Amino acid sequence: MLLECDNLAKFYGRKPAVRNISLKLETGHIYGLLGPNGSGKTTWMKMVSGLVKSWKGDIRYQGQPLSCHDKAEIAYMSTEPFFYSFMKIKDVGTYYADFFADFDRDRFYRLLDRMELDLNDKTRTLSSGMAAKLKLAATLARDAKLYLLDEPLNGIDLVARDRIMETIVETSAPKNTIVMSTHLVDEIEGTIDGAIFVKEGEIVLAGSMEEIRAQYDEPIADLYRKIYGGY
């Protein structure tokens, strides 16, 4: 088992962001973490990547309690751009190479080329779409065991979305696990092999795509509408 969460809960003041989340992620899968804004997807991802602290429950990575050293194998990509404003795109590559032993600079350059990004552009001058592509290139250039991609398709145009989904599928391997949070269910339905539906900080449905399809006999997008839209 790559990751196990047991009764996870995180409160901001009295407001619960995540509550009673228990789940297990296995290696070699692409999971969709589904739910509307504010459902707790980002908080859960940040908890697993060590950015959110002071929670209740238990997170075990490869059987051991989560520690800061696990960040060497967990690649988190946030929804928002997060690169230092003084950096150029090539500096982002240097930064990742400095801190992550699994970072492949050649792959980073290839991904930049595919995303049509220029190494010498400054990160602060990038449009939101370009910044989203850069985040993804830097994250997927790592040979991580667990990728946590928070809304990877946000701010990306339709053509680039296909390219990004191709890259994510290419990155997927039997030795790693990818978790993508999104509310663009249609875009990822053909890619994921497991789905976790989160509502108001709790898991309301989780399982492999085969199980879910067998149980509900309808597309994930329709199930999503039913769970969150009530119709």
231 binds other proteins (CB under 8 A): no
Q: Which of 41, 46, 133, 145 forms a contact with other proteins (CB under 8 A)?
A: 46
In degrees, rounded to 5, the angle at the alpha carbon of residue 204 between the alpha carbons of residues 201 and 209 is 125
Among positions 14, 37, 63, 86, the unique one binding other proteins when judged by CB under 8 A: 86
Q: In this chain, which of 76, 103, 108, 228 binds other proteins, going by CB under 8 A? A: 76
Helix (H, G, I), strand (E, B) or coil at 30: strand
Strands lying side by side in the sheet with 56-61: 15-25, 3-12, 56-61, 64-65
Of 18-26, 43-51, 160-168, 221-229: span binding other proteins (CB under 8 A): 43-51
Within 10 A of 220 (CB to CB), how many other CB atoms are there?
21
Give the Cα separation of 166 and 148 in Å (integer).
17
- Span of 42-50, 103-111, 191-199, 222-230 interacting with other proteins by CB under 8 A: 42-50
Binding residues for other proteins, total number by CB under 8 A: 27
CB-wise, 133 or 206, nearer to other proteins?
133
Q: What is the CA radius of gyration of the chain?
A: 17
Contacts of 162 by beta carbon, 8 Å cutoff, 6+ apart: none
Closest approach, Cβ 33 to other proteins, in A, equals: 18
Contact between 84 and other proteins by CB under 8 A: the answer reads: yes
Q: Provide the mask over 92-111, with x wherever binding to other proteins is found by CB under 8 A and - wherever it is not.
A: ---x--xxx-----------
Q: Which one of 63, 65, 68, 120 is in contact with other proteins (CB under 8 A)? A: 68
83 binding other proteins? (CB under 8 A): yes
Alpha helices in the chain (DSSP H): 41-48, 89-99, 105-114, 128-140, 158-171, 185-188, 209-216, 220-224
Closer to other proteins by Cβ: residue 91 or 222: 91
Q: How far is CA 59 from the centre of its chain?
A: 17
9 binds other proteins (CB under 8 A): no
Q: What's the CA gap between 66 and 146, in Å, rounded?
A: 13
23: burial class by Cβ within 10 Å (0-12, 13-18, 19+)?
Answer: middle
Output the smallest distance, CB 201 to other proteins, in A.
15
Which range of residues in 25-33, 72-80, 196-204, 214-222 is near other proteins by CB under 8 A?
Answer: 72-80
Question: Footprint of other proteins on this chain (CB under 8 A)?
Answer: 12-13, 46, 49-54, 68-72, 76, 78, 80-86, 95, 98-100
